[in-house]
Amino acid sequence: MDMFTLTQTSDRWIACCRACGHEQALPETSAIELSAEGVAIQCERCPSQEPCVYPTENAAAPID
């Protein structure tokens, strides 16, 4: 199970930690780069980490 849920806002990607609920902005990455390479995430509040997370198809729709 992925420890993070990725969502896209109009200008950036947000990772939400499923363990503690903390939301953090990811570094500037295009949707194409993120889909191809994935991203390593370490939660800023708890020890949760994920070595390579890819967005799901429904996460690619920007949220305003």
Segment 21-52, tens digit of pLDDT: 999 998 776 666 777 777 888 999 999 998 88
Residue 59 has pLDDT above 60, yes or no: no
With beta carbons less than 8 A apart as the criterion, state whether 45 and 22 touch: yes
Residue among 6, 3, 12 nearest 42 (CA): 3
- Which pTM value belongs to this model? 0.72
Q: β-strand 39-42 against 23-25: which pairing, if any?
A: unpaired
Fill in the DSSP letter of residue 9. B
In angstroms, the CA 18 to CA 1 distance is: 10
Angle 6-11-15 (CA atoms, 0-180°, nearest 5)? 20
